[in-house]
Amino acid sequence: MPNVTENEKKAPLLLGALSGVLAGFAALTVAEAVAGGVRPQAGPVVAVGGAAIDRTPATVKDWAIRNFGSDDKLVLQLGILAVLALFALALGILALRFRRTGAAGVLLFGVVGAIAATNRPDSTGVTDALPSVVGAAAGAVLLYALAGRLTPRAPAPGTSAPDASESRTSPSGTSESDTSAPDRSPSGTPESGKGREPGEGDGAAEGKEPAEGSAPGKDGEDVQDSEPAEGKASGEGWDRRGFVIVAGAAAVASAGAGLLGRSLSASGGRDAVASRRNVLLPAPGSPARAVPRGAQLRVPGVSPFVTSNSDFYRVDTALVVPRVDATEWRLRIHGAGVVRPVTLSFDDLLRRELVERDITLTCVSNEVGGPYVGNARWIGVRLADLLAECGVRPPSKGGPADQLVARSVDGMTIGSPVEDVMDGRDALLALGMNGEPLPFEHGFPVRMVVPGLYGYVSACKWIKDIELTTFDSYDPYWVRRGWARRAPIKTQARIDTPRPFARPGTGAVMVAGVAWAQHRGIDKVEVRVDDGPWQEARLAAEDTRDTWRQWSFPWQATKGGHTLTARATDRTGAVQTEKRARTIPDGASGWHSVVVTVD
């Protein structure tokens, strides 16, 4: 029947593709299990993803952050898995005809993963290659085995082969015939009615012997059973039963390996979780002053003055959040102009005088009006004091180093101007955030916080090393990718309410938002309706010049479409520029505006 024939042709291809997917799944889950015992960051998806991030153009990264926010890492990993799935499908189909080539393709992906893992900045050595190598080996063996089950098997020795006219369908979808052939005439064609053995009826297939399990029919015809005998299926066609058994067992084993990997990864971070749970932050020797009562406006829709830890933005390159055991953590300070190099423990920092400050952080990837800005209460150690104790002098006082390079446990490097860190601002090695030890996502056990500088030149999370050097002699991670060496935060105002394309009613509408110019402070915010004059908004009480400031403007809305625009002026007298600039290389600029329709 045509439908049956078509299905028979498609089925092997589908099963081949399924074999590739199962092999890919097995490779990834086995690799994850091995990575759980070695190092979670050594897993192939994480290693290849990290390598992809490092090689992605800055404009593409900026686009990803703008469109996916903190989910950009999840999108990247899903994209990697989708690509791997497509290649697995192709290798599975290829293995139907070229088993060794298909298996070798899986091994090739293992090599790629191993190279990516061992070349990461935080690689601990050749052991980081193990997850990719072992996982690929498991996937290659499985694909080879599954493809073998889909290959037609030759008849067992000593048994007569089926006649040439008894065709069968191979997994590649082609019809195969045995070399045995009926008696042929000298012309090479079967002779009708000649050379037949007794018992061959006209209704039988040419030269066909009665098959096992068939019954004689009318006029000597052999009537075949509707299902082939088990021996025939396994002896002449592909091994259906074997394929199902191997595929099912592989799926179950792979799922188990994945669960094991997750369990091992979780257990590997238990010491870090316990160390954070046991941290008791001492009372600060220099506490932050109470937030003024008028700093938080009672206007629905305005961002809270203090951003909760769970809502605080996160922009970094870590696909796996480092979980560092505070009891094992160490910070080394060394480099040019460091007279007395030092290595400090977490307890060493806790024994020092702690400083508590409210500081607003801003990411350089924040578009005009964007969400990557947040205000928190930080507690930590003054970085300038530590540097001074090590004999470091800023360039203005004859120091040889003008750049401080902070290194993270995940290999990230961030360069900050030594002059800014030591000019008297509250640059901190932060240990706590909003009254608790730093969350892992925000840098536990220790991170840098420097008011007035974008995060990519100041806010190193999971810090482990500080080296004093010069801007001319070393380019940190983001500078090598086209971002500016120096990046003070630009003066900005943002409209939080009404939201873009809102439809407020006529009459009194409160326009409100936040403005920031860290380390300079906000002096004024103005609002313009359509092309009308600038009108001064009411500012909320200021906490410090290092925090953002809320503002509000009562607007008598009239029917129709309107554009609301805001701009800020900082304490130096600088007015927020109208000129639009991209986030690259040193932060976005321009006025924030929203379009609304008044009903």
Say yes or no: 302 and 423 in one domain.
Answer: yes
pLDDT tier for residue 164 given thresholds of 50, 70 and 90: very low
For position 594, what pLDDT does the model report?
Answer: 98
DSSP class per residue in 358-379: EEEEE-TTPPTT-S-EEEEEEE
Asked if residue 572 belongs to a domain, the reply is: yes
CATH code at position 580: 2.60.40.650
Residues 500 and 590 in one domain: yes
What is the structure's pLDDT at 232?
39
Q: What is the pLDDT, as a whole number, of residue 154?
A: 59
Domain boundary among 417, 451, 481: 481
C-alpha span between 281 and 434 (Å, rounded)? 11
Over 60: is that where the pLDDT of 351 sits? Answer: yes
Give CA–CA dist 580/431, Å, rounded. 37
Are the C-beta atoms of residues 346 and 272 closer than 8 Å to each other? no
Please, which residues bridge with residue 417 across strands? 403
| Range in 26-30, 200-204, 305-309, 478-482 with the lowest mean pLDDT | 200-204
Kindly report the average pLDDT of the chain as a whole number.
87
| Residues 564, 456 share a domain | no
- Rounded CA separation 400/224 (Å): 94
Q: How far is CA 155 from CA 71, 151, 224, 399, in A?
A: 56, 13, 20, 85
Side chain identity at 311, as an amino acid letter? D
pLDDT at 157: 57
| Per-residue pLDDT reduced to its tens digit, 35-65 | 998 988 899 999 999 988 888 887 887 888 8
For 374-410, what is each residue's pLDDT tens digit? 999 999 999 999 999 999 999 999 999 999 999 999 9
Residue 568 sits in the same domain as residue 434: no
| pLDDT reading at 236 higher than 80 | no
Mean pLDDT of 95-111: 94
Does residue 461 sit in the same domain as residue 533?
A: no
- Clarify whether residues 364 and 264 are in a common domain: no
Whether 518 and 472 share a structural domain = no
Q: Is pLDDT above 80 for 168? A: no
pLDDT tier, 219 (very low <50, low <70, confident <90, very high otherwise): very low
The stretch 409-429 carries a mean pLDDT of 97
Looking at 417, 448, 481, which one is the last position of a domain?
481
Q: What is the pLDDT of residue 520?
A: 97
Residue 216: is its pLDDT beyond 90? Answer: no
Residue 218 in any domain: the answer is no
Backbone angle region of 195, left / alpha / beta, with phi > 0 → left and psi within -120 to 50 → alpha = left
Look at the block and give the residue holding tokens 């690509």: 83
Tally of structural domains, the chain: 3
3-state secondary structure 6-71: HHHHHHHHHHHHHHHHHHHHHHHHHHHHHHHHHCHHHCHHHHHHHHHHHHCCHHHHHHHHHHHHHH
Query: pLDDT by residue (tens digit) across 240-251?
Result: 888 999 999 999
% pLDDT > 70, the chain = 84
**In a shared domain, residues 511 and 465:** no
Q: What's the rounded mean pLDDT across residues 220-229?
A: 39
What confidence tens digit (pLDDT) does each residue in 116-163 have? 999 988 888 999 999 999 999 999 999 999 999 987 765 655 554 444
Per-residue pLDDT of 263-280, as tens digits, reads 888 877 899 999 999 999
Domain assignment present for 487: no
| 48 located within any domain | yes
Residue 233 has pLDDT above 50, yes or no: no
Cα 28 to Cα 481: distance, rounded to the nearest angstrom = 31
Which pLDDT tens digit goes with each residue over 323-333? Answer: 999 999 999 99
Mean pLDDT of the region 326-344: 98
Residue 206 lies in a domain: no
The pLDDT score that the predictor gives to residue 181 is 40
Element (H, E) at 431: strand 428-433
CA–chain centroid gap for 541, Å, is: 40
Say if pTM beats, i.e. exceeds, 0.75. yes
Domain contains 166: no
CB 34 within 8 A of CB 94: no
The dihedral over CA atoms of 11, 17, 22, 24, expressed in degrees to the nearest 10, equals 180
In the prediction, which pLDDT does 8 show? 60
pLDDT tens-digit profile of 458-499? 999 999 999 999 999 999 999 999 999 999 999 999 999 999
Same domain, 468 and 397: yes
Contact 336, 401 (CB under 8 A): yes
d(CA 266, CA 365): 31
What is the pLDDT at residue 267? 78
Please determine, for residue 215, whether its predicted confidence score (pLDDT) is greater than 70. no
Q: Residue 297: which CATH number?
A: 3.90.420.10
Enumerate residues 6+ apart whose C-beta is below 8 A from 188: none
Please say which residue of 481, 505, 540 terminates a domain: 481
Domain of residue 568 covers 492-598
Decide if pLDDT at 178 tops 80: no
Phi/psi at 415 (5° precision)? -105, 130
Asked whether residue 458 falls in the same domain as residue 327, the answer is yes
pLDDT at 239 over 90: no
User: Could you tell me if 540 and 593 lie in one domain?
Assistant: yes
Instruction: Identify whether residues 345 and 259 lie together within a single domain.
Output: no
Whether residue 275 is contained in a domain is answered as no
Answer for the pair 284, 59: CB distance below 8 angstroms, yes or no.
no
Q: Is residue 164 part of a domain?
A: no
Say what the pLDDT of residue 165 is: 40
Q: What is the pLDDT of residue 170?
A: 45
Check pLDDT > 70 for residue 437.
yes
C-alpha 315/C-alpha 565 separation (Å) is 27
| Cα–Cα distance, 31 to 59 (Å, whole number) | 32
